[in-house]
Structure formats: structure tokens, C-alpha cells
Amino acid sequence: MGANTSEPTSFRTPRTRSNQSPRTPASHLSPSPSTSESNPTTAAYTNTSSYTKDTSWGTSLSCQSSLSSLRQSLSENPHIYDITEIRTATNNFLAKRYSSTSSSAVSAAACWRCNLRGRDTVVFQRKFRRKIQTSQLKERLSIICRSNHMSIIKLLGASISGDHIYLVYEFIQGSNLVECLRNPRNPSYTVLSTWISRMQIATDLAHGLDYVHNNTGLNLSIVHNHIKSSSIIVTEPSFNAKICHFGTAQLRRETDDIETLETGSSKRETEIEGGNASFRELKRYDSGDRHFEGLRDYMSPEFRSSGSVTQKSDVFAFGVVILELLSGEEPLKYRYDKETGDFLRTSVIDTAMAATAEGREGLRQWVDRRMNDSFPVEVAEKLIQLALDCVHVDPDNRPDMGRVAGKISKLYLESRIWLENVKVPTGISVSLAPR
């Protein structure tokens, strides 16, 4: 059977019809040029019903072996880059740093766009929160790099040098959400001037984060820990959104060595130390050693008080991003009060709650006016309320991302129906010329 799998030696002669020439057997699916020129039809098809049972089984095993080999050669296998490769690609880190925005401000994380192993990539330099062994890095990379979703920028591999890890992601052409909403050179303009473009971004984000939390298929409960508008890339022409920095928290050990494993309906916590797995319950993250990689605007209340980083922290940050997307405003602003001489803090959460309390008219005033008041009010009300549920003070009262993604998908469909109803009728010509 093994011999037949690797090198088929014989095939039963296929049946032929009296008025047709014999068809080419399976071992000759790639005909020579002379064969294809003489009879291209017979060279392109085979009579699969004429195979013997042994030959079919051998071919099936051969296909499985080929698929296994192909799977091993795909880009999902993580690359452990040598630091010399990173240095060469970035001109010893002297190359101009890459930024997805047009502002002159340099990102807190050093980043370079370069070519590695024939691929257009972006390299992020990050500092470890805790040291990680090479074997652990390979294990985590093999898990993270197997994940694929259209709303997540794919991690290709990593490299280690001293206290830093260099994370290599595929390059995606686009601009981050901050730049799309608030262009410093033209505050009155936004590329997201339509309701459907913002709904598209909200839908992509919801499904991408739902994938991270619940649908990676890796039996892992993953915390992203980097959800913020500056970490979301918007692409044209359909305004699709992609989440950056997937896997960074795990590879930098921001969320400890503990990964949640699901066995049946129960969940356990496992810590990988030197290849041995020991189970323990995760109570709280040490706030002295952990750091939420977002701005303070996106931090959940429980993180500020206890340093606890969970999936519900991601849900809170997602809710802030949605409110930011709908209003076009910064998540947190400080306004100088001339009467008191103090700076007054105003958050997008507070303004959204106040607008909701005022009713429909308050919401219409709160939504970004650069959309020219052209949006389905009922859908906007539901989406704002869903975002407020995500930023609830009590993490237990925040919805799961699976539920959030389902609701936003429904709102997206309602928005599409609204868009079809408000379109200008076709087939009507208008002329301003004198008659």
C-alpha cells in the first residue's frame, strides 16, 4: 500500500465506448505537448469510475500526503528570523520609521516597513515584559501564526535580540482609524463621510475581535490587549478594517505565561515553564509587572483599580472605539475653564450617555455632523446603546464579543436596506439648460 501511495505502478485499463477513443488514465493527467495538440479533449478528462478500489485508496492516501506536505510549506509556519536579517532589511535600524499616519509624530513603538524573504512586511520593535525562551517563542508563534481572519493583520514571525522582540507582520496598505476620523490638516473633512462606511468598519472590528476571543479554533482564550483606534488600519475602496498587533500581548508576555485551555465545558489555566505544563487558577495580574498597551482612554475600570487584563477589557476598549467611530471625537479631551482656571475632563462615554438621555434629538446632535445627518436614526440608537453596554463599569454586565458581532451584523444589514431605500432613482435625467 505504501508503494502504491508514493509511486503507483499499474492501473486497470479504462473502459471505452465503441464510438470514442480511449480516455487517458489517471497517471497521465499531464499530457505531453504532442498529446494535447492531437486530442486536447481526451487529455483533459479521465474516467474516474474505471479505477480499481486499491488504486483509488492509494491515490487518496497520496493526496493526503501531498496536502500534509503542502500545509507544512505554507506561510502559516512561523518564521524565526535571525536578527541579522532584520538588521539588513532595516539598514541596521537606521531606515526611516514607518507610520500609517501623515502626522510627524513618531509612534511609541519603533516600526519599519521592509522586505523580508520576498514579502512586503512591517517590523515592530517591542520590549519584553518578561524573558521568554526560544522554545516557548516557537510554541506560541506556531499557535498565533496558524490564525487567519480577513479582519486581522497576519503575524508572519519574530526575532529576538537582547531585551527586545521584533514582530514581523504582513504589510497592509491603508491608514489608521485616527487619521481617517481626524485629519489634522483638514479637520472638517473625513474619508468616512457615509454611514455605511462606518458600519463596515464596526462590523469588521466586531468579527475580528470575536475571532480573537472565541473562534481561533486553537482551544485558547486570547486577550488582544491592544484595541485602540490607532491600531486599526482602514483600507480602500470598501473601507474594510483590519486589527493590528494580534499576538503581541502573548509574545511579549504582557498577560503572563498563563493561557486558558478549554477541555469539554471546563476551563483550566496552564503555565508553560520549560516545556512542563502546570495547572493553576488565574486570580489577578500583578499590576506592577503588567501593562495595558492602549492609552488611558481605552482602559477598563477594573484594570485601573487592579491591573486585571481580560477579554472583557478588550470589550470595553472596543466599545470606546465604536463611540469614537460614531462621534468622530477623541475618546478623552480636556477643556480649559476660564472661570475656574481648571481643565475639565470630557470623555466620549460621558457625552454619549448624556445624548442618550436627551432622546433621539440629542443623538442626532451627537453623531458626527460630517455625515450630513444622513444615517438611519433607529440603527444609530441601537449601535450607540450596544457600545454603551460594552463600556459598562461592571465587566460582568458587558456582552460577549460573539453576541456583539451578531448584533452589529444585523444592524449592518438594516443599514444596507436603509441605503437602498434612500438611493436616488435611476433613469431620470435633469437638465438646467433653457428650452
Instruction: Answer whether residue 313 shows pLDDT above 80.
Output: yes
Which of 72, 91, 115 is the C-terminal boundary of a domain? 72
Close Cβ partners of 51 (under 8 Å, ≥ 6 residues apart):
11, 12, 26, 59
**pLDDT at 221 (0 to 100):** 72
Residue 171 lies in a domain: yes
pLDDT (tens digit per residue) in 170-223: 999 999 999 999 988 888 999 999 999 999 999 999 999 999 999 887 666 788
Mark whether 194 and 330 lie in a shared domain: yes
Residue 46 lies in a domain: yes
Residue 308 lies in a domain: yes
pTM summary value: 0.72
Mark whether 152 and 245 lie in a shared domain: yes
- The whole-number average pLDDT for the span 363-391 is 95
Please report where in the chains the cell 503581541 appears, as a residue. 248
**pLDDT at 100 (0 to 100):** 58
| Domains held by the chain: number | 2
**pLDDT at 321 (0 to 100):** 97
**pLDDT at 106 (0 to 100):** 37
Residue 318 lies in a domain: yes
Mark whether 108 and 245 lie in a shared domain: yes
Each residue of 395-411: b (16+ CB within 10 Å) or e? beebbebbebbebbeeb
pLDDT (tens digit per residue) in 273-312: 333 333 233 333 344 434 444 456 798 998 888 877 889 9
The dihedral through the CA atoms of 296, 297, 299, 302 has a sign that is positive
Confidence of residue 431 (pLDDT cuts 50, 70, 90): low
Mark whether 145 and 34 lie in a shared domain: no
Mark whether 200 and 235 lie in a shared domain: yes
**pLDDT at 212 (0 to 100):** 93
Mark whether 117 and 192 lie in a shared domain: yes
Mark whether 100 and 52 lie in a shared domain: no
Confidence of residue 256 (pLDDT cuts 50, 70, 90): low
- The whole-number average pLDDT for the span 12-18 is 48
d(CA 231, CA 216): 20
pLDDT (tens digit per residue) in 233-253: 999 888 999 999 998 888 887
**pLDDT at 370 (0 to 100):** 95
Which of 39, 72, 105 is the C-terminal boundary of a domain? 72
- The whole-number average pLDDT for the span 254-265 is 44
Query: Which set of grid coordinates corresponds to residue 96?
Result: 526611516
The residue that leads in pLDDT, 52 or 381, is: 381
pLDDT-above-90 percentage for the chain: 43
Mark whether 141 and 32 lie in a shared domain: no
Confidence of residue 128 (pLDDT cuts 50, 70, 90): confident
Mark whether 68 and 126 lie in a shared domain: no
∠ Cα 225 226 232 (to 5°): 145
**pLDDT at 171 (0 to 100):** 95
- The whole-number average pLDDT for the span 408-414 is 98
* Of 50-59, 257-266, 291-300, 419-428, the least confident: 257-266
Mark whether 191 and 303 lie in a shared domain: yes
Cα distance from N-terminal residue to C-terminal residue, the chain:
87
- The whole-number average pLDDT for the span 378-405 is 96
**pLDDT at 266 (0 to 100):** 34
Backbone phi and psi for residue 303, each to the nearest 5 degrees, phi listed first: -70, -40
The mean predicted confidence, pLDDT, of the chain is 76
Close Cβ partners of 411 (under 8 Å, ≥ 6 residues apart):
199, 379, 382, 383, 386
Burial of 170 (0-12, 13-18, 19+ CB in 10 A): middle
Mark whether 307 and 340 lie in a shared domain: yes
Residue 13 lies in a domain: no
**pLDDT at 50 (0 to 100):** 43
pLDDT (tens digit per residue) in 50-79: 444 444 455 555 555 555 554 444 445 667
Residue 5 lies in a domain: no
**pLDDT at 103 (0 to 100):** 40
Q: Is the peptide bond before 237 cis (omega within 30 degrees of 0)?
A: yes
**pLDDT at 240 (0 to 100):** 96
d(CA 307, CA 290): 7
Mark whether 168 and 57 lie in a shared domain: no
The residue that leads in pLDDT, 270 or 164, is: 164
pLDDT-above-70 percentage for the chain: 66
Residue 426 lies in a domain: no
Close Cβ partners of 58 (under 8 Å, ≥ 6 residues apart):
1, 4, 5, 8
Which of 72, 94, 115 is the C-terminal boundary of a domain? 72
Give the residue numbers spanning the domain of 158: 83-421
**pLDDT at 282 (0 to 100):** 32
CATH of the domain at 379: 1.10.510.10
Residue 30 lies in a domain: yes
* Of 82-96, 273-287, 319-333, 383-397, the least confident: 273-287
Instruction: Answer whether residue 150 shows pLDDT above 50.
Output: yes
The residue that leads in pLDDT, 185 or 388, is: 388
